[in-house]
Amino acid sequence: MAESAEEIYERALAAADADGRLPMPDVHEWETFPFEGDLRVRPLLPPVEAEPPRNGEDARECWRCTNGVRDAIWSDERWLLVPLPEPSGLPLVVILSTREHVDIGELSPQLASELGTLIVRIERAINRLEGIGRVHVCRWGDGSFHFHIWFMARPARLPQVRTNLAAIWDDILPATPADVWRANYTLAARALAESGGISHV
């Protein structure tokens, strides 16, 4: 049986210092860790009563559902691919969403099997871009309810901009120039459409 939040919290407090701070993990020694200097862990806050609601849990208030195919660079009957609204630090970040208002655990067998294929197709399409070292495929799901999965293309040959911390470097690096960003998502969308669906760019 899993521990309750209270049990985890109590165990953490027992391991923390007088201020409730846990020791820094080894992550600050990673080559990819973006920060330096004297860092400390924030005191762990106690459990709350219930999980906060996510954005757009009600389909009538869901941004994706109320905006249709807006901003999509590629789509098919059941899926949409959308870039971040503004260029970010990595060469390209795109988000795959269902058209249907579902969470990951609610995907139908058809959507679930299509998702597996699409992850591979999108990874291949983005890898057509020159200079990409890896395409990270990420699903967190704590922000918005509507099912979405991130594809974060990191540049090759920048040894610090790697691992899960590439998602932090995405916020640190200066934004990719708009024309380069647009060219990147255009090439990726057209490459993806070669194996099905429609490129909108």
Using CB under 5 A, pick the residue from 65, 102, 156, 168 that binds Zn ion.
Answer: 65
Q: How far is the CB of 63 from Zn ion (least distance, A)?
A: 8
Contact 199, 80 (CB under 8 A): no
Query: What's the token pair of residue 89?
Result: 């630090």
Residue 121 is a binding residue for Zn ion (CB under 5 A): no
Using CB under 5 A, pick the residue from 146, 148, 154, 162 that binds Zn ion.
Answer: 146
Give the E-state strand segments of 54-165 in sequence order.
74-75, 79-83, 92-98, 132-138, 148-155
Single out the segment in contact with Zn ion by CB under 5 A; choices: 57-65, 106-114, 131-139, 192-200.
Answer: 57-65
- 63 phi and psi angles, rounded to 5 deg: -60, -45
Q: How far is the CB of 58 from Zn ion (least distance, A)?
A: 9
Other beta carbons within 10 Å of 183: 15
Query: What's the token pair of residue 159?
Result: 């040894």
What does each C-alpha distance from 169 to 21, 30, 90 come to in angstroms?
25, 14, 8
Residue 64 is a binding residue for Zn ion (CB under 5 A): yes
Q: Which is it for the CA torsion 159, 28, 37, 43, positive or negative?
A: positive
175/153 Cα distance (integer angstroms) = 14
* 7 vs 61, beta carbon nearer Zn ion: 61
Which residue's Cβ has the minimum distance to Zn ion?
62
* 64 vs 154, beta carbon nearer Zn ion: 64
In 3-state terms the chain splits into helix, strand, coil percentages (rounded to 5) of 35, 15, 50
Among left, alpha and beta (phi > 0; psi -120 to 50; other), residue 157 is left
* 62 vs 119, beta carbon nearer Zn ion: 62
Using CB under 5 A, pick the residue from 22, 41, 62, 137 that binds Zn ion.
Answer: 62
* 146 vs 154, beta carbon nearer Zn ion: 146
Q: How far is the CB of 165 from Zn ion (least distance, A)?
A: 30
Size of the site for Zn ion (CB under 5 A): 5
Single out the segment in contact with Zn ion by CB under 5 A; choices: 43-51, 72-80, 96-104, 188-196.
Answer: 96-104
Using CB under 5 A, pick the residue from 99, 101, 136, 162 that binds Zn ion.
Answer: 101
Summarize as ranges the residues that interact with Zn ion (CB under 5 A).
62, 64-65, 101, 146
